[in-house]
Structure formats: C-alpha cells, structure tokens
Amino acid sequence: MRASSSLKDLAARLAQGWCFAGLSLLLLLFFPRIELEAYDNLILSYRRLPRLFYWLNENFRRYSGYNGLHRSITLMGDQDLRSEDSTQAHLEAMRHFRRDLAAASSWITDSEFKLPVDLRNETLEQSLVFAVPAQTHWNVKTGNQPPFVLKASDADGVVRELYLALKSGQGSLTPCLPLALYSQFLDLGGSSPQVKDGWLQLGDHQIPVNEDDTGYSFPLIPYESSVRAHLQMDETVTTVSDSMVPVRLVDALKLPNLYFGERVHRRFYFLGNYSMTAVGERATPTGSFRDFQVAAMGLDNLIQGPYLRWVSGWRCWLYYLVVSSLLALWLLSPTSLPGRFVRLAQLTVAWYLFGLALCACGYYLPITWLAFYSLLLTAWIVTRIWLATMGHLRRYGGTAAARMLALGQSHLDHSEAEERIATIVFVGLPAHLRQQELDDDIHLLEHRQIFSQVVAEITHRFEGIVHDFQADYLMLGFGTHPGETDPQHARRGFWAAQQLIAAREKLQVAWQSKVENGARVQVSVNTGLVAVGWVGTSKFKRASAAIGDTTNVAARLLGTAKKLDLDLVISQSAYELLQGQAEFAALPPVMLKGKTEAVGIYKLVESP
C-alpha cells in the first residue's frame, strides 16, 4: 500500500513538473527575446572568465579563447571620404597588401563592386583580395567572390551568427568569406568543405555549425570591448589600443612606410566604411559594429575559438525532459517555506554556472526556460501552501479571519477578546457514530470524517465557523468572525441548522447505517452575548473561540432536544430574531444547569 502511494506521489510530481516545463517553453515562444538576452549575457560572462580568473592555468584560458582579435588581423576604416575617393583609397590599400604579400585583404562594400583586373584572384594567388557586400539574405551573387552573409535574429535583429557555407543546390556548398579566409589561414588552398552530423569539415579541422534552409551558420562569440591589445607597428614602435578600433585608411596611405611593407606579410586586413553615419552598422550582443568589424570577429572566432555548438533537436528535448523531471522531484519534495526560496536561489546560481560550464565544453543549451520553470513551480508550491493555510483558517477561524489575514489586516496572535451578540449552534453526534464508538468499529474515523465534512460545508455556506469538534457534539458560530459583525447571524444559524437536519438522507446513503435513526441530526440554537477571540498558546495550537453564558445555554439546549426527542430546539432570544422565518411552537420553559430562571424554548412546527 505504501509502495503504491509512493509511486502515485512520484507520478504526480513528475506530471506537475512536465506541465510547468511545457508552460515555460510556451512562454518562451511568445517572448523569444528573453532567451536571446540570456544567451548574450552568458556569452559575455564567459568571455570575461580569463580576465576575472587570470590566476588559472593556460589550459583553462584556451577554452575561452583570447579576448582580443587575433594578432594577424588588422582593421582599416574609411572615415567620411567621398564615394570616389573612398573607392580609390581602398583599391590603393589593397594593391599595397597584395604587393607586400598579405594573406588576404577583404573590403566589405556597401554594394556589389567589381575589382579591377590586377586585383582579381588567380588560381595560385597567395595574397587574396576580396570585395563583397554584407548581406542578411543571400540574394546578391558575388561572381567569383565568396559571399558574406549575416544571420540576424528575427526577434530583435541582432547578428549572432555568420554563414560559413551556403546551400547551392544538388548538394553542393558555396563557401562564405569567413570560411575562405580561414582556409587561407590554414594554408588549405581551395579545399572544399563538407558537412556531416552538424560538423563542417575543412581539411582536418571540424567546426560545429547550425543548419537551416539557407546554409550552415556559425555562432559569433562577441568581442569584449574592455580588452586592449598590443599592436606592433614596426621594430621600435609599439602602441596599445583596442584592436576593434580601425586604423584610419587615409593615415595609412599617407604613411606607407609605417603601415605597409614587410609587416604586412601573412596578415589579414579588413577594410570598410567607418563614417559617422549608421551605414553598414550591425547590432551584435556586444554593441553596434560595422560590417567589416563583424567579418573580422568571424575570422577571429574560427582561428582562436571557442567553437560553440547550439544543441537542438531530440537532444534538446531529452534535456528538457530529464532536467524538468529531476527538478520536479527536488522542488516538490517537502521543506519549509523559507527552504523553498533557498532552493530557488540555489537553482539560480546553479543554472548560471551550468551554462558557463557548458560553454567551456563548447555547447549551449537553452537556460532561460529553467528560470521560468523554477519560478512558476515555486510560485505554484507557495500558492498551494498559502491556499491550504487559508483553508484551515477558514475552517477554524472563519472566512472573515482568513480574508483579513490575507489582506494583512489581522493576525492570529492577538490576546484581546471582543464581545458581541452572536448565534451559537450545537450539533449532536448522530446515533450511528455513537454506536460505532461503543463497538470500536474500524470505519469510525472514516464515517466521522464524512459527518465533519458535511457540517463544515454547510457552516461555510452560511458564513459560519466550526469552533469545536468534540466527542459527542460540534459547536458552530455565526457572527463570530474576528473584526466583522453580521446582522444576519441568527438567520444564518437557523438556515444552517435546517440544512444540517436535512442532511440525514445524505449521511444515511454514505454510511448505510443499520442503527435506527442512525443518521438523524439534532440541533440547538441560542443567541446572545459572547466573547470572541482565540484560545491556546502563541507558540503551539490555537483555535478560535466564542465563550460565554450564551454558549453554555446552547450546549444545555442540545441535551434538552435529545430528552424531548426533537430535531431542533431554539432559545427565546433566538426566537425573537427569527420570527417570520418559520413557524415555531412554544415549549414549556426549562431549568438549565447554572441558570436561576427557566429558559424559554421553541420547536420548529413541521409542515403537514
């Protein structure tokens, strides 16, 4: 039995966890930018690790790559030159690069441009020259020049990937500019790339890629702008600057002895527009960069790494299933309310470190859904705890007390009693339950719970409070809510009493009692002054109470109802407030314990 219950509990936790995992993923479909921003922040943190933990060994540093651009890469920018002058300046610079045997010079143009004959790449050319426009969609043919295609996110337009190869039809691939330059860096000449199982093969080198209908893209790991790099200009002059700030093209052409010559050999140069306008500017996770700077970052990532592979497909779904299952079993396991928030804090730190560790291993898995998942699941757990607490308070302290506590208007530790006029109802234990107690029936607790539930539901329906569950009676209060009066308390108490008496048939069906009149419910009603408050201790058990002579009289009247064999007996004070609600008949006044005068009582006249 216990094993079956444990399995059901386990299945229930897993089912809840999977439901909230699905809800978290659904939220991300509506708010995709949240995942992208989390990715950007994680990558930036990952880039900062070598600088923050400089004391770690070189084996760790190599996993995150060198933060600055590779030393073989140099940027040159055209600043506010007229179109004609800009074209001539770029062509002159590229002639210098070819003459001095640069590995490659790439001019990222604003539109398609045809290079002059002397700058075209021949079959055995060792110093390559490219002039290609940056594209976000491959719709411009660049002839024999490799295309440079950026992959911008549909959600926010930020460039996070570059295409390395494009699908040309019939299974062939068109290498893009970053891959052509990387091939030149590796001295692989005209090696053709091949793609298999999510990896692009270039010679002996493998690069993880993401596939779509256009081609195969490569995640662009953002450059960290706070890192400064040494640029050696000649044997005697060394400057320190941000390697992403380009050399002014005009200055370079004015000082050819400083910027050109032997130092150009085997270097990669990127040229482009660096004017004050936004022409050729792309948003990246680090900030805005020009097209030629983005191209330089692409080559830098290919040379230095790190290579980052976005996990997708069935592996990603398996990850969702396993992680959501484990977290559901952990988060839904019993702990205190503060423990819930401690777990949430632990999980926040854990998933952040988990993301960094995965990046160090060359993988990226979606992590934002974990934040949604843990927050939603924790909120669900806390809400359930709160609702259960409010439910218990409603049962024992009344709806008003629960409402006041929820609104922060009251608390349960007050010691002051409040005197007011209220109606007290006593409900006798049916004969069926009393007989079960005498017989030590194994179903006693189950049947007693059924009776208590019926009484509690009716009491709650008429805005009353179950103050006490005793051995042979239940005490109900109407108008005894803390901090709230009810002018209809007598009527509500009477209506509840009628409903309790009418519950006989329902109880008989539930119990299948063989005792004569075993499901009969007898009730007494009294109205008067009571002291409303809480009894018990502040540290342990506390319960709401309505104490006074009115309560004592109501209890004695229940005994009178049993002696007279009546379903309902009400006092004189209750009768005065209930006239017109039903037809009552006066009974001879009775002497009750603790009273010096006889108490007037009435019975309900049943309809013929």
Q: Are 108 and 171 members of one domain? A: yes
Q: Is 602 helix (H, G, I), strand (E, B) or coil?
A: strand
* pLDDT at residue 143, rounded to an integer: 63
CA distance 428 to 19: 46
* CATH number, residue 464: 3.30.70.1230
57/75 same-domain check: no
| Residues 221 and 316 occupy one common structural domain | no
The C-alpha atoms of residue 317 and residue 321 are separated, in whole angstroms, by 6
Both 101 and 242 in one domain: the answer is yes
User: Do 591 and 539 reside in the same domain of the chain?
Assistant: yes
What are phi and psi for residue 489, nearest 5 degrees? -60, -40
d(C-alpha 287, C-alpha 224), whole Å: 10
Final residue before a domain boundary, out of 304, 329, 344: 304
Same domain, 343 and 484: no
pTM of the model: 0.63
- Is position 450 within any domain? yes
- The helix (run of H) or strand (run of E) holding residue 431 is helix 431-439
User: Cα separation of 72 and 137, whole Å?
Assistant: 29
Any domain includes 402: no
DSSP 118: G
Same domain for 325 and 230, yes or no, is no
pLDDT at 402: 61
Query: Using CA atoms, how far apart are residues 357 and 46, in angstroms rounded to an integer?
Result: 9
Give me the pLDDT at residue 234, please.
46
Asked if residue 299 and residue 150 are part of one domain, the reply reads yes
Q: What is the mean pLDDT of each run of 10 residues along the chain (608 residues)?
A: 68 87 88 84 74 50 54 84 81 92 91 87 85 80 79 86 85 88 86 85 88 88 54 46 78 87 90 76 80 90 82 86 87 81 85 81 83 86 80 60 58 65 94 88 89 90 84 87 82 94 91 87 94 69 78 93 93 91 91 88 77
**One domain for residues 292 and 320:** no
Q: What is the pLDDT of residue 390?
A: 72
Alpha carbons 338 and 356: distance in angstroms, whole number: 28
Backbone angles phi, psi at 87, to 5 degrees: -60, -45
- pLDDT (0 to 100) of residue 353: 84
Q: Is residue 399 part of a domain?
A: no
Domain-embedded: residue 451: yes
- Say whether both 267 and 288 belong to one domain: yes
Count of domains for the chain: 3
| Selection from 189, 193, 190, 151 nearest residue 168 by Cα | 193
- Answer yes or no: is 393 within a domain: no
Phi then psi dihedrals of residue 582, to 5 deg:
-165, 175
Examine the domain organization and report whether 165 and 254 are in the same domain. yes
Q: Which of 522, 542, 307, 527 is nearest to 427 (CA)?
A: 522
Same domain for 493 and 594, yes or no, is: yes
- The full DSSP string for 9-65 is HHHHHHHHHHHHHHHHHHHHHH-HHHHHHHHHHHHHHHHHHHHHTTTS-HHHHHHH-
Which domain does 212 fall in, by range? Answer: 66-304
The predicted structure's pLDDT at residue 367 = 82
Question: Which among 304, 331, 357 is the end of a domain?
Answer: 304
Question: What local confidence, expressed as pLDDT, does residue 407 receive?
Answer: 58
Residue with tokens 């699941």: 377
* Closest by Cα among 287, 289, 290, 286 to 273: 290
